[in-house]
């Protein structure tokens, strides 16, 4: 996942707001469309996101405004929480429901113990291949741009970390999971790889981010509820936001423990 910074100047006659705004992104708009809307409402102040969400994904999108954009990398380094529903009937070109399907019909649907056993391989540190439709750069181009032209690249696996992976429910063909992971983890790749492990298909029917470090859905604003003019009072002050990141209760997933 990558930070974004949409820059413009606030009129000199107005104070430049600075802080963190948590948005509950709906299905449909891109993260950059949310950034652009918030930037406009914040009077053109610099605005960036601390980790993108796919158009079909929903949930916590943390936006840094004004001088808070300098702290985006620190916020991005925190652990992320997701809930996802995985459909085991097919693989897709995008690893979610937007792509072209390749149906897979197993001889028999896997039983819940088999699903639980397969999940063990996706806890801790392991190598994960990003989706072909992702923002990973290949020769200076985004992978999704190549994939849209029919030149999808086979991306190299990268080390990722999952601190927690819980089965919420399983009823063929749907697996509902709750995930706590570090930076760079792709939920869509988990869906694909779980399907491979089970001998079924695997793609995300839904993805919802429930937290980014200490920032959760409980404080998230729906885009349509944002004020026409976002001011300082609408944000989490920068000092408070950074204090919460530091005091999150645990180091970022994948961090090296102090010795």
Q: Start-end ranges of CATH 3.30.70 in the chain?
A: 4-78+213-246
Task: Give buried/exposed letters for 163-189 (b at 16+ CB in 10 A, else e).
Answer: bebeeeebeebebbbebbbbbbbbbbb
Provide the 3-class DSSP secondary structure of residue 187.
helix
Determine which one of 24, 37, 54, 166 is catalytic. Answer: 54
Give the β-pairing of 19-25 and 137-138.
unpaired
Predicted TM-score (pTM) of this structure: 0.85
* Span 18-69, pLDDT tens digits: 999 999 999 999 999 999 999 999 999 999 999 999 999 999 999 999 999 9
Please, what CATH class does the domain formed by 4-78+213-246 belong to?
A: alpha beta
* Span 143-182, pLDDT tens digits: 455 445 555 556 678 999 999 999 999 999 999 999 999 9
Task: Give buried/exposed letters for 52-72 (b at 16+ CB in 10 A, else e).
Answer: bbbbbbbbbbbbbbbebbebb
CA-nearest of 207, 205, 190 to 90 is 205
Beta-carbon count within 10 A of 124 CB: 12
Q: Start-end ranges of CATH 3.30.2350.10 in the chain?
A: 80-211
96 is catalytic: no
Which two structure tokens, joined as six digits, stand for 12?
């000199």
CATH of the structural domain 80-211, one choice from 3.10.20.30, 3.40.50.1820, 3.90.226.10, 3.30.2350.10: 3.30.2350.10
């Amino acid at each position: 996942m990558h930070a974004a910074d949409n820059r413009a100047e606030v009129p000199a006659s107005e104070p430049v707001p600075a802080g963190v705004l948590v948005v509950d992104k709906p299905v449909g708009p891109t993260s950059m469309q949310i950034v652009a809307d918030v930037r406009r409402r914040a009077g053109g102040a610099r605005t960036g996101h601390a980790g993108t969400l796919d158009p079909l994904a929903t949930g916590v999108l943390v936006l840094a405004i004004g001088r808070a954009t300098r702290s985006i990398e620190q916020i991005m380094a925190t652990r992320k929480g997701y809930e996802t529903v995985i459909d085991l009937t097919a693989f897709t070109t995008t690893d979610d429901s937007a792509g072209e399907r390749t149906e897979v019909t197993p001889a028999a649907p896997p039983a819940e113990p088999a699903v639980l056993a397969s999940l063990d391989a996706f806890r801790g540190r392991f190598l994960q291949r990003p989706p072909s439709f992702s923002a990973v750069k290949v020769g200076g181009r985004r992978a999704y741009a190549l994939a849209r032209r029919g030149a999808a690249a086979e991306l190299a696996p990268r080390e990722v970390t999952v601190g927690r992976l819980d089965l919420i429910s399983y009823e063929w063909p749907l697996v509902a999971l709750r995930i706590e992971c570090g930076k760079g983890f792709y939920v869509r790749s988990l869906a694909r790889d779980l399907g491979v492990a089970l001998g079924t298909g695997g793609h995300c029917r839904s993805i919802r981010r429930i937290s980014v470090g200490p920032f959760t859905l409980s404080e998230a604003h729906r885009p349509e509820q944002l004020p026409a003019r976002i001011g300082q009072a609408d944000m989490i002050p920068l000092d408070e936001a950074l204090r919460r990141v530091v005091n999150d209760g645990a180091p970022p997933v994948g961090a090296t423990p102090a010795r």
